[in-house]
Amino acid sequence: MAENQVALITGGGSGIGAAVARQLLDAGYRVAVTGRGKERLDAFAQELGRPEGLLTVPGDTAVYDDVRAAVGATLGKFGRLDAVVANAGFATHDTVAEGDPAGWPDMVLTNVLGPALLIRASIDALKETRGRIVLVGSVAGFVPSPGNIYGATKWAVTGLAENTRRQVTEWGVGVTLIAPGRTETPFWDTYGSLPPGHLLTAGQIADSVVWAMRQPAGVDVNTVVVRPVGQPV
Ligand SMILES: NC(=O)c1ccc[n+]([C@@H]2O[C@H](COP(=O)([O-])OP(=O)(O)OC[C@H]3O[C@@H](n4cnc5c(N)ncnc54)[C@H](OP(=O)(O)O)[C@@H]3O)[C@@H](O)[C@H]2O)c1
């Protein structure tokens, strides 16, 4: 039952991760959220009224000790783990031929290594609950776009999701890749403006994440691509 379930969401203090956390808390889950910025996590907890079922764990998803500590803190407080959502990620919004390589290591480590570390750190606990792994990829992980380094990290996430599924399905663990199109979140702050056209809300992507997570035992939704109407590629 959802009342007993526990989820850990990386990058859960804003945007899509925060929207997933809200919906899961409303559904009776207990939820741990991570992020590098302690203030951001505190502000999120404050906004929600510091509910009993919410644990905030500052940490970098690209650092294995931090990820293991987040899994350990979640198990320590809530006693079990039913789902992890590898959501933390960002874009430098530049290109391979004209961008600034100084920004790329953090992006690659966060977007690609981060989900792998979360899977590695949580798999034993997820085996016990026959739980679920959700990876937040991107439409940019399905569609080539000129020079897009961020997109290349999300192609890696697309591959990681299916490679993981093929290993962990025999242990009863589900793997879902949610690939959002353009969504209105702080993701775009470093771009300087929102992209043109109609955008999804974080809540609309969270709807898909939570829908996939709440499938009956034995049902594994694998790939969901969600674009706003009007996004051509
Ligand atoms: N918005 C879109 O249009 C869109 C489209 C497709 C896919 N996505 C993907 O959706 C996911 C969520 O992004 P969002 O749109 O919700 O943007 P967001 O509001 O900026 O959320 C990203 C979260 O990840 C955290 N984060 C970043 N790097 C981290 C790290 N190394 N370790 C731990 N936490 C980290 C950030 O907090 P701190 O900075 O405090 O750590 C932030 O709370 C990302 O994977 C993004 O690539 C977004």
Mean pLDDT of 158-176: 98
CA–centroid distance, residue 12 to ligand 1 (Å): 8
Q: Whose CA is nearest to atom 20 of ligand 1?
A: 187
CA–centroid distance, residue 14 to ligand 1 (Å): 7
What per-residue confidence (pLDDT) applies to 40?
97
Distance CA 111, CA 91 (A): 9
Q: Whose CA is nearest to atom 45 of ligand 1?
A: 89
Which ligand 1 atom sits nearest the alpha carbon of residue 110? 31
What per-residue confidence (pLDDT) applies to 145?
95
Whether the CB-CB separation of 178 and 138 falls below 8 Å is answered with no
Q: What is the DSSP string of 142-197?
A: TS--TTBHHHHHHHHHHHHHHHHHHHHGGGT-EEEEEEE-SEESGGGGGGTSPPSS
Whether the CB-CB separation of 56 and 17 falls below 8 Å is answered with no
Per-residue pLDDT band for 207 (boundaries 50, 70, 90) equals very high
Residues 6+ apart with CB under 8 A from 24: 5, 7, 31, 210, 213
Per-residue pLDDT band for 3 (boundaries 50, 70, 90) equals low
Ligand 1 pocket: which residues have CB below 6 Å? 10-11, 13-17, 34-37, 40, 60-62, 87-90, 110, 136, 138, 180, 182-183, 185-187, 202
CA–centroid distance, residue 216 to ligand 1 (Å): 28
| 1 has pLDDT over 70 | no
| DSSP character at residue 141 | G
C-alpha pair distances (Å), 157 with each of 53, 58, 91, 138: 29, 23, 14, 8
Which ligand 1 atom sits nearest the alpha carbon of residue 62? 31
Catalytic site residues? Answer: 150
CA–centroid distance, residue 170 to ligand 1 (Å): 30
- Minimal CA–CA distance to 81: which of 132, 126, 48, 111? 126
- pTM score: 0.98
The per-residue pLDDT of the chain, averaged, comes to 97
Mean pLDDT of 79-104: 98
Each residue of 219-229: pLDDT tens digit? Answer: 999 999 999 99
Each residue of 179-199: pLDDT tens digit? Answer: 999 999 999 999 999 999 999
Domains and CATH numbers, the chain: 2-226 (3.40.50.720)
